[in-house]
């Protein structure tokens, strides 16, 4: 199988890397050596059905045809062998003379750049040197993109303006009738197809399933981004995060901390509003919206916090004290958690519910399960004795632990007689990643980091007795943008006009009081990548490459209609441009190693 890579200004010579979705198989066109080393072990565990995807580290892999560059398909053994680069060069060397001539590198300009000594041939050494020069240019350009100035430093005047706006919200908890409690359960990187509610045969998730059966399951629910951090910004603000420049992940904890990246301190969160309205607010889990004091959960509306501020954490106890931006902490005090972390987050949430059972409370529980690292205790591993693949077994175990945690929290509500007056929401932050080799997004295309359905369509269920009929399935497109206004409407909070939300309250749509769909159009933006959903039409673009799908007929996005429906493409592009005009520039750049992958013969650039 040959994988074509076009030559052009953005990529002179980009050897291939590999990645894999469970169903559709993109071919990675560029990556970093670091990414290769970090991913190689995971790729070695891939199922046999994806073993044919290209596996060539970032050295030399060129095969020439009609002016295009190609990467030759390799075996698993080749990808892990020290001689991989030489093997790739040999594959491109069609006449076997140990060097590449102009008949083998048919892009004339590229050939001239690679032929450093102008002797009319390209040796292995010259090809490797060219690749190193290209990477050096890319790294220098990436460094130039990053400013060392704080992105969102603390600004007392902005905080004062926000407090003045919030002060107009009256308490809803002082009357005779207590408003509903709120429990928002937010899982991390869960595969769309990894719930028995969604048809999984390998992963029983009875507690999450029960919520769906007792409430409303949203079959077309979306997040606002295909990665952790911006998705959380959209959830917490009820606004497209692009309005305040939160387009990409904040990067690693140290960079995030040093550069003051996070959720703009002037942005109002749902916790701000609920606290002002009289709710006791607690957060238990992964924050990932900034690590400096102005971003801390207790500065953003939460009375108490137990969890960590960065984007990932081990599920096992730390062996030594960790940096502030990485450590587990209670409020602002670092600690070492002795329990398996998913169990600990459930424990803390159960404690919070018990201590505040006589008050109206909001518990936000953003689990870090089932995000990497893939780690599980024997208690959960032993539930899957027939799974021979240890990584799959551990992932299944992590998911089972997550389901148990949900069950523990629901049991605490039942114990204190709170279930009939508690709004429970379960939703995931983005699609399951394909790079782990263990998550399944069911029928959906690709996964986390992509704007295809597998990256942005997520499981979502809402339970509120007396408001939603049990076992309801709602099919119109909805968004996590809608959760902020839905919560406020359910508890009787009138959101001030100065807080402009992009979501809508879902209750009247689900109950049939409002006709039509909650949204005419939904938008996504990720650097050069965009997506638009309007009705059943879904457009994805990466630079000038376009994919158009009719989701009513093609949920798996297998038939690209962009060429046969140019007017639809034009309409959706125009709608996107009108929306984009209202947004801000990204407040920081995506990570510098922007891999290019081939999806259905077209190039897609991954921006994280």
User: Dihedral sign, CA of 542, 548, 551, 553?
Assistant: negative
Q: Please report where in the chains the tokens 């899982």 appear, as a residue.
A: 187
Contacts of 262 (CB under 8 A, 6+ apart): 151, 152, 250, 256, 289, 290, 291, 292, 294, 295
**Three-state secondary structure along 254-292?**
HHHHHCCCCCCCCCCCHHHHHHHCCCEEEEEEECCCCCC
Does the pLDDT of residue 20 top 90, yes or no? no
As a whole-number percent, the residues of the chain with pLDDT over 90 amount to 72
Region for residue 535 given its phi and psi (left: phi exceeds 0; alpha: psi -120 to 50; beta: otherwise): left
At 189-218, the pLDDT tens digits run 999 999 999 999 999 999 999 999 999 999
Listed residue (602, 131, 166, 209) closest to 410, CA to CA: 209
Over the chain, what is the mean pLDDT? 86
Q: Please report where in the chains the tokens 């959380």 appear, as a residue.
A: 232
Burial code (b: 16+ CB inside 10 Å, e: under 16) for 570-597 equals eebeebbeebeeebeebbbbbbbbbbbb
Report field, pTM of the whole predicted structure over 0.85? no
- Using an 8 Å Cβ cutoff, are 363 and 352 in contact? yes
At 77-110, the pLDDT tens digits run 333 333 334 545 665 677 888 888 888 876 777 7
Between the CA of residue 232 and those of 65, 94, 412, 430, what are the distances in Å? 45, 51, 26, 10
At 447-473, the pLDDT tens digits run 999 999 999 999 999 999 999 999 999
What are the chain's domains? 2-146+600-605 (no CATH), 183-493 (3.40.720.10), 523-580 (3.30.1120.10)
**Three-state secondary structure along 460-508?**
EEEECCCCCCCCEEECCCEEHHHHHHHHHHHHCCCCCCCCCCCCCCCHH
Query: CA angle, 370 as apex, 368 and 372 as ends, to 5°?
Result: 85
Q: How far apart are CA 518 and CA 480, in angstroms?
A: 12
Residue 58 CA from chain centroid, whole number: 25
Residue 387 has which token pair?
Answer: 């799974």
């Amino acid at each position: 199988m040959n994988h074509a890579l076009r030559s052009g200004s953005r990529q002179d010579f980009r050897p291939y890397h590999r990645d894999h979705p469970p169903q559709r198989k993109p071919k990675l066109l560029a990556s970093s050596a670091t990414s290769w080393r970090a991913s190689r072990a995971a790729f070695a565990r891939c199922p046999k059905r994806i073993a044919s995807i290209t596996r060539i580290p970032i050295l030399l892999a060129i095969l020439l045809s009609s002016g295009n560059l190609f990467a030759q398909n390799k075996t698993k053994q080749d990808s892990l062998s020290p001689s991989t680069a030489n093997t790739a060069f040999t594959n491109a060397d069609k006449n076997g003379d140990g060097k590449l001539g102009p008949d083998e590198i048919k892009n004339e300009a590229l050939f001239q750049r690679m032929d450093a000594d102008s002797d009319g041939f390209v040796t292995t050494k010259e090809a490797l040197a060219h690749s190193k020069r290209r990477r050096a240019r890319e790294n220098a350009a990436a460094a130039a993109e990053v400013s060392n100035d704080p992105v969102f430093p603390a600004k007392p005047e902005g905080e004062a303006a926000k407090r003045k706006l919030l002060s107009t919200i009256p308490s809803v908890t002082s009357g005779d009738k207590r408003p509903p409690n709120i429990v928002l359960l937010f899982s991390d990187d869960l595969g769309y197809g990894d719930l028995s509610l969604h048809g999984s045969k390998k992963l029983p998730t009875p507690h999450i399933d029960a919520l769906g059966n007792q409430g409303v399951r949203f079959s077309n629910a979306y997040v606002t981004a295909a990665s952790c951090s911006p998705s959380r910004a959209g959830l917490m603000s009820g606004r497209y995060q692009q309005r305040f420049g939160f387009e990409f992940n904040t990067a690693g904890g140290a960079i995030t901390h040093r550069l003051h990246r996070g959720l703009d301190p002037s942005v109002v969160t749902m916790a701000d509003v609920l606290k002002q309205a009289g709710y006791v607010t607690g957060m238990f889990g992964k924050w990932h919206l900034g690590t400096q004091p102005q971003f801390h959960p207790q500065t953003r509306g939460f009375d108490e916090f137990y969890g960590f501020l960065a984007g990932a954490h081990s599920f096992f106890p730390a062996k030594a004290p960790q940096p502030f931006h990485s450590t587990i902490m209670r409020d602002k005090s670092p600690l070492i958690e002795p329990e398996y972390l998913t169990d600990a987050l459930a424990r803390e949430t159960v404690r919070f519910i018990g201590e505040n059972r006589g008050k109206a409370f909001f518990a936000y529980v953003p689990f870090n399960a089932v995000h990497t690292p893939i780690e599980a205790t024997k208690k959960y591993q032993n539930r899957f004795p027939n799974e021979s693949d240890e990584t799959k077994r551990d992932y299944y175990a992590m998911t089972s632990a997550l389901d148990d945690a949900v069950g523990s929290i629901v049991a605490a509500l039942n114990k204190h007689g709170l279930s009939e007056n508690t709004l429970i929401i379960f939703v995931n932050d983005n699609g399951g990643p394909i790079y782990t080799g263990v998550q399944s997004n069911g029928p959906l295309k690709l996964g986390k980091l992509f704007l295809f359905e597998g990256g942005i369509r997520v499981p979502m269920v809402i339970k509120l007795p007396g408001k939603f009929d049990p076992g309801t399935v709602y099919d119109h497109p909805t968004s996590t943008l809608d959760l902020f206004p839905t919560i406020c409407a359910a508890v009787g909070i009138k959101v001030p006009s100065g807080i402009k939300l992009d979501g809508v309250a879902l209750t009247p749509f689900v109950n049939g009081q409002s006709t039509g769909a909650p949204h005419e159009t939904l938008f996504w933006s990720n650097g050069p990548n965009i997506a638009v959903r309007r009705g059943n039409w879904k457009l994805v673009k990466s630079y000038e490459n376009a994919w158009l799908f009719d989701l009513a007929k093609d949920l798996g996005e297998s038939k690209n209609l962009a060429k046969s429906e140019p007017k639809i493409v034009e309409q959706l592009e125009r709608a996107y441009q009108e929306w984009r005009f209202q947004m801000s520039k990204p407040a920081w750049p995506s990570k510098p190693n922007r891999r290019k992958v081939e999806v259905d013969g077209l190039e897609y650039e991954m921006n994280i």
